[in-house]
Protein backbone atom coordinates (compact mmCIF):
# COMPACT_ATOMS: atom_id res chain seq x y z
CA UNK A 1 0.00 0.00 0.00
CA UNK A 2 1.44 3.39 -0.95
CA UNK A 3 2.00 6.02 1.71
CA UNK A 4 -0.66 8.36 0.26
CA UNK A 5 -3.33 5.68 0.40
CA UNK A 6 -2.36 4.83 3.97
CA UNK A 7 -2.57 8.52 4.98
CA UNK A 8 -5.90 8.95 3.18
CA UNK A 9 -7.39 5.95 4.98
CA UNK A 10 -6.11 7.19 8.34
CA UNK A 11 -7.48 10.69 7.68
CA UNK A 12 -10.89 9.27 6.68
CA UNK A 13 -10.86 7.43 10.02
CA UNK A 14 -10.35 10.76 11.83
CA UNK A 15 -6.63 10.42 12.62
CA UNK A 16 -5.44 13.99 13.24
CA UNK A 17 -1.77 12.97 13.14
CA UNK A 18 -2.34 11.64 9.60
CA UNK A 19 -3.79 15.01 8.58
CA UNK A 20 -0.73 16.71 10.03
CA UNK A 21 1.62 14.27 8.25
CA UNK A 22 -0.24 14.83 4.95
CA UNK A 23 0.05 18.61 5.20
CA UNK A 24 3.72 18.40 6.25
CA UNK A 25 4.42 16.13 3.27
CA UNK A 26 2.74 18.28 0.61
CA UNK A 27 2.81 21.85 1.94
CA UNK A 28 6.34 22.69 0.68
CA UNK A 29 5.55 21.34 -2.80
CA UNK A 30 2.28 23.26 -3.09
CA UNK A 31 3.87 26.45 -1.74
CA UNK A 32 6.72 26.17 -4.26
CA UNK A 33 4.16 25.69 -7.03
CA UNK A 34 2.14 28.73 -5.91
CA UNK A 35 5.31 30.84 -5.61
CA UNK A 36 6.10 29.99 -9.23
CA UNK A 37 2.81 31.54 -10.27
CA UNK A 38 2.16 34.26 -7.72
CA UNK A 39 4.96 36.74 -7.21
CA UNK A 40 3.78 38.02 -3.84
CA UNK A 41 4.87 35.59 -1.12
CA UNK A 42 1.93 36.39 1.14
CA UNK A 43 -0.60 35.73 -1.62
CA UNK A 44 1.24 32.53 -2.57
CA UNK A 45 1.04 31.37 1.04
CA UNK A 46 -2.67 32.25 1.08
CA UNK A 47 -3.20 30.22 -2.10
CA UNK A 48 -1.33 27.30 -0.55
CA UNK A 49 -3.47 27.39 2.57
CA UNK A 50 -6.61 27.72 0.46
CA UNK A 51 -5.50 24.65 -1.54
CA UNK A 52 -5.47 22.54 1.61
CA UNK A 53 -8.65 24.14 2.91
CA UNK A 54 -10.47 23.20 -0.31
CA UNK A 55 -8.98 19.71 -0.29
CA UNK A 56 -10.22 19.06 3.23
CA UNK A 57 -13.57 20.83 2.70
CA UNK A 58 -14.45 18.23 0.05
CA UNK A 59 -12.42 15.41 1.54
CA UNK A 60 -15.47 13.22 2.13
CA UNK A 61 -15.90 13.04 -1.68
CA UNK A 62 -12.20 12.50 -2.44
CA UNK A 63 -11.41 9.17 -4.11
CA UNK A 64 -7.74 8.24 -4.12
CA UNK A 65 -6.70 7.21 -7.63
CA UNK A 66 -2.93 7.51 -7.66
CA UNK A 67 -1.12 10.49 -6.23
CA UNK A 68 -2.78 12.99 -3.92
CA UNK A 69 -0.18 15.49 -5.16
CA UNK A 70 -1.87 15.60 -8.57
CA UNK A 71 -5.18 16.55 -6.99
CA UNK A 72 -3.47 19.26 -4.93
CA UNK A 73 -1.76 20.62 -8.06
CA UNK A 74 -5.11 20.93 -9.81
CA UNK A 75 -6.59 22.87 -6.90
CA UNK A 76 -3.49 25.10 -6.65
CA UNK A 77 -3.46 25.72 -10.41
CA UNK A 78 -7.08 26.86 -10.30
CA UNK A 79 -6.37 29.18 -7.39
CA UNK A 80 -3.35 30.67 -9.15
CA UNK A 81 -5.40 31.23 -12.31
CA UNK A 82 -8.14 32.84 -10.22
CA UNK A 83 -5.59 35.15 -8.61
CA UNK A 84 -4.69 36.61 -12.01
CA UNK A 85 -8.16 36.39 -13.57
CA UNK A 86 -8.67 40.15 -13.32
CA UNK A 87 -5.10 41.09 -14.16
CA UNK A 88 -3.26 41.24 -17.48
CA UNK A 89 0.00 40.14 -15.87
CA UNK A 90 0.90 36.54 -15.10
CA UNK A 91 3.88 36.22 -12.81
CA UNK A 92 6.21 33.29 -12.55
CA UNK A 93 8.43 33.35 -9.48
CA UNK A 94 11.76 31.62 -9.53
CA UNK A 95 11.74 28.99 -6.74
CA UNK A 96 14.50 28.12 -4.37
CA UNK A 97 14.88 24.64 -5.93
CA UNK A 98 18.17 23.73 -7.58
CA UNK A 99 16.51 23.22 -10.97
CA UNK A 100 15.28 26.79 -11.29
CA UNK A 101 17.16 28.84 -8.71
CA UNK A 102 19.67 31.37 -9.89
CA UNK A 103 22.59 32.25 -7.68
CA UNK A 104 22.19 35.97 -8.07
CA UNK A 105 19.30 38.43 -8.34
CA UNK A 106 20.04 39.17 -11.99
CA UNK A 107 19.90 35.47 -12.83
CA UNK A 108 16.63 35.09 -10.92
CA UNK A 109 15.09 37.98 -12.82
CA UNK A 110 16.29 36.51 -16.13
CA UNK A 111 14.85 33.09 -15.28
CA UNK A 112 11.58 34.65 -14.12
CA UNK A 113 11.28 36.74 -17.28
CA UNK A 114 12.17 33.74 -19.47
CA UNK A 115 9.45 31.58 -17.92
CA UNK A 116 6.94 34.44 -18.05
CA UNK A 117 7.66 34.88 -21.78
CA UNK A 118 6.40 31.37 -22.57
CA UNK A 119 2.84 30.89 -23.83
CA UNK A 120 0.58 29.88 -20.89
CA UNK A 121 0.12 26.20 -21.78
CA UNK A 122 3.84 25.78 -22.43
CA UNK A 123 4.72 27.72 -19.26
CA UNK A 124 2.52 25.44 -17.16
CA UNK A 125 4.21 22.35 -18.57
CA UNK A 126 7.68 23.90 -18.21
CA UNK A 127 7.08 24.83 -14.57
CA UNK A 128 5.84 21.34 -13.75
CA UNK A 129 8.69 19.64 -15.61
CA UNK A 130 11.71 21.86 -14.94
CA UNK A 131 10.82 23.40 -11.59
CA UNK A 132 8.51 20.93 -9.88
CA UNK A 133 10.44 18.01 -11.42
CA UNK A 134 7.36 15.98 -12.31
CA UNK A 135 7.74 13.26 -14.94
CA UNK A 136 6.13 13.77 -18.31
CA UNK A 137 3.63 11.01 -17.51
CA UNK A 138 2.68 12.75 -14.25
CA UNK A 139 2.22 16.04 -16.12
CA UNK A 140 0.02 14.37 -18.75
CA UNK A 141 -2.19 12.89 -16.05
CA UNK A 142 -2.27 16.10 -14.01
CA UNK A 143 -3.18 18.31 -16.97
CA UNK A 144 -5.46 15.74 -18.58
CA UNK A 145 -3.57 15.75 -21.87
CA UNK A 146 -1.74 13.10 -23.88
CA UNK A 147 1.88 12.22 -23.27
CA UNK A 148 2.87 13.22 -26.85
CA UNK A 149 1.50 16.72 -26.21
CA UNK A 150 3.50 16.99 -22.97
CA UNK A 151 6.66 15.91 -24.81
CA UNK A 152 5.98 18.50 -27.51
CA UNK A 153 5.47 21.23 -24.91
CA UNK A 154 8.69 20.34 -23.08
CA UNK A 155 10.64 20.41 -26.37
CA UNK A 156 8.97 23.69 -27.32
CA UNK A 157 9.76 25.19 -23.91
CA UNK A 158 13.42 24.20 -24.29
CA UNK A 159 13.57 25.77 -27.75
CA UNK A 160 11.86 28.97 -26.62
CA UNK A 161 14.08 29.27 -23.55
CA UNK A 162 17.20 28.70 -25.66
CA UNK A 163 16.02 31.40 -28.06
CA UNK A 164 15.25 33.73 -25.15
CA UNK A 165 18.77 33.33 -23.82
CA UNK A 166 20.28 33.55 -27.33
CA UNK A 167 21.40 29.92 -27.47
CA UNK A 168 19.47 28.83 -30.58
CA UNK A 169 22.37 26.88 -32.10
CA UNK A 170 23.55 25.19 -28.90
CA UNK A 171 22.33 21.76 -27.79
| Whether residue 1 has pLDDT greater than 80 | no
What is the per-residue pLDDT for 93?
A: 44
**So what's the pLDDT on residue 51?**
93
Q: Output the CA torsion sign for 29, 32, 34, 36.
A: negative
Residue pLDDT, tens place only, 41-68: 899 999 999 999 999 998 888 777 767 8
| Fold type of domain 105-171 | Arc Repressor Mutant, subunit A (1.10.10)
* Phi and psi angles of residue 18, each rounded to the nearest 5 degrees, phi first: -70, -40
pLDDT tens-digit series, residues 74-130: 899 888 888 776 554 444 444 444 344 434 445 555 677 788 888 888 888 888 888
Domain boundaries, the chain: 1-91, 105-171
Phi, psi of 82 (to 5 degrees): -60, -35
Helix (H) or strand (E) holding 37: helix 16-37
Closest CA relative to residue 35, chosen from 102, 118, 94? 94
Q: Are 100 and 46 in contact (CB under 8 A)?
A: no
User: Three-state DSSP class for 91?
Assistant: coil
Task: Kindly indicate the confidence band of residue 71, based on its pLDDT and cuts at 50, 70 and 90.
Answer: confident
Closest C-alpha among 65, 88, 76 to residue 37:
76
Domain 1-91 class in CATH = mainly alpha
Phi and psi torsions of 137, nearest 5°: -65, -40
Amino acid sequence: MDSDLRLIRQMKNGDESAVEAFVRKYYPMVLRYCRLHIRDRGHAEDATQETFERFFRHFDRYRHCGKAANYLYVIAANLCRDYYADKDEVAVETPESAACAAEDIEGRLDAQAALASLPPEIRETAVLFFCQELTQREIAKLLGIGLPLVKYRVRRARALLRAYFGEEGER
